[in-house]
Chain A
């Protein structure tokens, strides 16, 4: 799925995408002498484990209660926080960890460094029928709203139904999962847009909620960790979308005391939350204060100085490259993965043959571009091979281009490939934004790399405001598009179909298939893998990705996402939730003494 931070961060992502990624050779020589040592094995891990039997209360040995945690960010908190309309990484991490509860949730596993799917409001991770077209969840007892009223199965059902209202919640994940997968979801417009229509997907029997699917949805327990798949008060006066978006009611350990969009969010304890019902949330601090809109440099300086309130402060923005050395020396830097891959998509309607992509794989100045765009090789731009990042079940590393190691640049080899195929001087046209310093820097480096490898580089100017629409214009006069893709949960099904399944270019545009890859044979294979038994799917997705990449190479992977965040000296337990690339707020506590 899309990088779910905020509009500003999205723009950043598309800037980053213009830059290639860096790194070095293969294997042991991966870290050049001056590179910091980062565990790249676990960095990109995006979690695959599940633990359906975990029970509350969750505790951390030695952790103390109390204290106020301040959280800083430069962009962020500008996107909706209504649970049905919530689909950005920062708000998702904050709300699911602290405020709202849903059917399932993630817990951080100390041993593997991965996130594990555990139950939340439901007693387990759900019971599917044989072909995954029906899921049953049983609601726990003793769950209450912040008002003290009990949470009923009807309210959970209403929340799930509400997620199908794509017109009222255009930002939410419902459009991508609820409507396509739920029974009748394609026709049902939701409780606000079509108040008289009948939905067929969700039924309630006592404490049991049943969700019927139009097609097999084996990953539903992962989707059930989204705020959209949680309870919403059925009283229309309370859950009116316009009003509820300002103050979603809490079922978790904290409730919203004050919220100003794009500025601050203050969370205080919700005394109606019972830790015994919660398998993952710990809730040690008394209060959370989120402040956004600061300059990145300012945030770094506050955290580097580590005085006063800064001691109990953490940031979920990446530390700037120029402050990385200093931040690393403090020992208060946390690195982690993000399930994102950044790649160049070559327009398959225009590129003559696979040799272009092969030559490009050798030509890209990976490291140069990463440094020029302010990223740190192997820290927040991790070496790639596969399209699917590490941690996706079934993923096996392979080389899409034979002999090419991650982050390896060899212009001579690229030249040779172009010459052998008779494509010398092939013109690569790509977008950059003149008003973005980072984008221009990435462009300059890319032009040099391409020219050195015997391509003709033609950068096409755009502006930040137009960059996404220009990129997604199917008739645009460019043949290489930079794109980043992040999965919503670790599964090959969130990688291969969105990137490689053909779309109707006339009607819907690229969708997320930015290479305009259209191959009926592959489309059929995608259908076939989706229909396989669930335990065979992970390996099948990996095989299919390998087949597409080695046969057609429609995209050239550049780097995997990573995060590198700093926190104050009194904050303990900061780990990265690598399903989101955000701090795991469930495990944080303040060490006052």
Chain B
């Protein structure tokens, strides 16, 4: 339904360029066609929630990008192995609680958000670098899984026959496969494979995390796209294209894909917060990345100290909540904007 209208509007816009109409500029402006994307964007601009969410996301991205600058300004370190970082017992008392800053001491600019009990890293530094990791993981996983989902969905929907059956089978298989189990099995394998080289191990864990998230993240979109393609490919403009001998690749990407922008954008906007949460969850369980700060890891570090040191837990929880909430709300707005049935 959605796409039918979009198609019609596109046809209209083509008609809009009819030279016969050009000598009536006023009227032409009135009925000047807009592509569905343009309509959606103009709707988004008017949406206050969406604007706010975009502002928050831009801010968080800026903080993540500028993490090295921020930590340098404050002189704080997320890695206690850093030669310049203070010794653990310089900032921690005998029972692991910080000697400086919250919860038992007054605020200090040396550690604006406090020090992690027992571990001795600076909360601000860990938070901004953790945000960085979260964003890298979620953007990488979303982009790649979207590409895979779209390509496989298009192929499955358009090809008919065995290609469709094979792709659909793989999709169903992966949907049914227990994702947590794969992570549980993979994490010790990676550790033993890269055990001697710490840098390789760090990179290996983060790439494997992203890979796992991608492997288990494209199926939803692929199914959605396949369903849309199944209905679109019987439509006249596709049949016409086939008849006049347009190459399949061109049909897929030039004819079909533009009609699928809406579901893809919606899937991206809802996928991002999902991956942020997945990364945090896996790191909380100790299956995520090692050697990089992670918000999920910070939550699991902070949980035992909640009673006395609430701030420590609220920092990563707040960051994850802010990121996922703004991404989710933005996703909702994007869906509303792209859905022609919604009226404002």
A residues bordering B, Cβ < 8 Å?
A: 22, 32, 34-36, 297, 320-322, 324-325, 365, 367-369, 371-372, 374, 376-379, 434-435, 437, 440-441, 444-445, 447-448, 451-452, 458-463, 465-466, 477
Contact = CB atoms under 8 A, between A and B. Distances in A.
B286 A322 contact: no
Given A22-B89, A372-B119, A461 B187 contact: no
B308 to A, nearest CB: 7
B279 to A, nearest CB: 17
Interface string B305-319: 100100000000000
B85 A371 contact: no
Given A297-B304, A325-B95, A374-B96, 14 more contacts: A22-B89, A36-B94, A320-B304, A322-B117, A367-B88, A371-B96, A371-B118, A376-B95, A435-B187, A435-B286, A441-B119, A445-B120, A461-B198, A462-B192
A427 to B, nearest CB: 12
Contacts of A434: 187, 191, 201, 205, 290
B309 to A, nearest CB: 8
B93 A34 contact: yes
Contacts of B95: 321-322, 324-325, 376
Contacts, number: 112
A475 to B, nearest CB: 14
Contacts of A372: 80, 88, 118-120
A447 B88 CA distance: 12
A324 B94 CA distance: 10
B301 A437 contact: yes
A32 B83 CA distance: 24
Given A22-B89, A367-B89, A463 B304 contact: no
Interface string B193-216: 011101001000100000000000
Interface string B107-127: 000000000011110000000
B304 A322 contact: yes
A32 B94 contact: yes
A120 to B, nearest CB: 39
A465 B188 contact: yes
Nearest to B121: A444
A145 to B, nearest CB: 46
Given A36-B94, A322-B97, A448 B82 contact: yes
**B198, B201, B287, most chain A CB atoms within 10 A:** B198
B88 A461 contact: no
Given A297-B304, A368-B89, A448-B87, A461 B194 contact: yes
A330 B199 CA distance: 47
B13 interface: no
Nearest to A449: B87
A369 B80 CA distance: 11
Contacts of A320: 304
Contacts of B81: 444-445, 447-448, 451
A452 B88 CA distance: 14
B195 A460 contact: yes
Contact of A452 (B83, B99, B196): B83
Contacts of A465: 188
Q: Could you say which of B80, B118, B300 has the most chain A C-beta atoms within 10 Å of its C-beta?
A: B118
Nearest to B301: A437
Contact of B201 (A321, A368, A376, A461): A461
Interface string B265-307: 0000000000000000000001100100000000011001100
B159 interface: no
Given A322-B118, A434-B290, A435-B286, A459 B198 contact: yes
A466 B188 contact: yes
Nearest to A452: B83
